[in-house]
Amino acid sequence: MKIKRPESKQPIPKDAERVFKGVIFDVYRWEQKLFDGSCRVFEKLERPDTVVVIGVTEDKKIMLVETVQPGKKSYFGNAAGQVDRDEDLLMAAKREFLEETGYKSRDLKLWFAYQPASKIDWAIYFFVARSCKKVAEPLEDPGERVRLKLVTLEELVELVLEEKFDSPEVSMEILRACLDEDRMKRLKDLLLG
Amino acid sequence: MKIKRPESKQPIPKDAERVFKGVIFDVYRWEQKLFDGSCRVFEKLERPDTVVVIGVTEDKKIMLVETVQPGKKSYFGNAAGQVDRDEDLLMAAKREFLEETGYKSRDLKLWFAYQPASKIDWAIYFFVARSCKKVAEPLEDPGERVRLKLVTLEELVELVLEEKFDSPEVSMEILRACLDEDRMKRLKDLLLG
């Protein structure tokens, strides 16, 4: 299955010049024709895409991770990481999920994908991994400490309402589901069905 | 009144090197000591802060703007723009609001402020401007076309539920208010009180 990359709201034109190449971010620049025919220099970034995996264990608990990075406040979120160049998205999701949590799933599928920032060409892919089983210890990463937390859907709703969950996209899906029976039914089917 | 700048989750250290200076984005780099004592190159961006103004007219209609920029899909959001270097935040909010909508308010105050992206040092300040009056035509900007749309709070809730409103932060505030009577009371006080 080939997953389609979501389009940027404001794509970098093909003739844009790369003016900086960084460790994570590249910077592009181009002369953009405005509505009155005049021109302005536009600047936009490119960074590697991200995969996020919402794991659900065999006994229907949602797997959150509390991530601590050097010099950064800790937060509750989902297992996530960078897609390597030319890496298959499903492979990247499986790899990051296994590395961060030590869990594996045979039932991994894309939930949704989008580009969050109009000035960065950057897609985030959200996967759901059901029937997860622990098969290994999480990989030690000197740049990151991860603690696993298993919650029910009701407990996740509480974390979202209390602003203790770090993903705005997943939070919005959950809040919308709380306000719409059909959406909640679909969300439960997706996560727990 | 001095508004406090919200802190980044992962501040750029004072000794970081600026490796690129752009039109919008500057890039900083530093050697970050990891948990095991080893080092890794960290990279983080800096960009000018943003002010967002949610206007409310004298007859309690919420002012949305539909913005069209060259090469970018249109969207419903709020009047917003960049804070100039050393510009006072309230002044920046007033200026951007007047330029984009042609409206003025004598009752402008900060709602909330935060940093949305851990890899960009970038604060967004959300203001509410009540009792707004039209005093001018919006400033012509060859880089942007703006159409004003006046809605009730109920209509704004519908737009958020239908995923037609572009601000995730304001959307989440509204969705949380829909699930909590006290929050809804505070939101109504803030916007319509």
Residue range B156-174, pLDDT digits in tens: 999 999 988 988 899 999 9
Determine which of B17, B24, B30 to mutate to test the interface with A (most A C-beta atoms within 10 Å): B24
Name the phi and psi angles at B75, rounded to 5: -155, 155
Band (pLDDT 50/70/90 cuts) for residue A1 is low
Average pLDDT over every residue of B33-42 = 92
pLDDT in tens, A32-88: 999 889 999 999 999 999 999 999 999 999 999 998 888 777 778 999 999 998 899
Mean pLDDT of chain A: 93
Sign of CA pseudo-dihedral A4, A5, A6, A8: negative
> By the CB < 8 Å criterion, does A181 face chain B?
no
Please answer yes or no on whether B179 and A178 come within 8 Å at the CB atom. yes
Parallel/antiparallel/unpaired status of strands A124-134 and A103-104: antiparallel
pTM recorded for the entire structure? 0.91
Residue in the structure block whose two tokens are 């109009």: A118
Query: Residue type for B28, please?
Result: Y
pLDDT in tens, A75-104: 789 999 999 988 999 999 999 999 999 999
What is the per-residue pLDDT for B75? Answer: 78
Chain A residues inside the 8 Å CB shell of B10: 69, 71-73
Chain B residues inside the 8 Å CB shell of A45: 25, 45
What is the per-residue pLDDT for A141? Answer: 83
What is the per-residue pLDDT for B139? Answer: 86
What is the per-residue pLDDT for B30? Answer: 96
Q: Which residue of A has its CA nearest to B183?
A: A161
What is the per-residue pLDDT for B1? Answer: 63
% of chain A at pLDDT higher than 70:
99
Q: How many CB pairs under 8 A join A and B?
A: 118
Do residues B55 and B138 touch, judged by C-beta distance below 8 A?
A: no
pLDDT in tens, A137-156: 998 888 888 899 999 999 99
Please answer yes or no on whether A27 and B25 come within 8 Å at the CB atom. yes
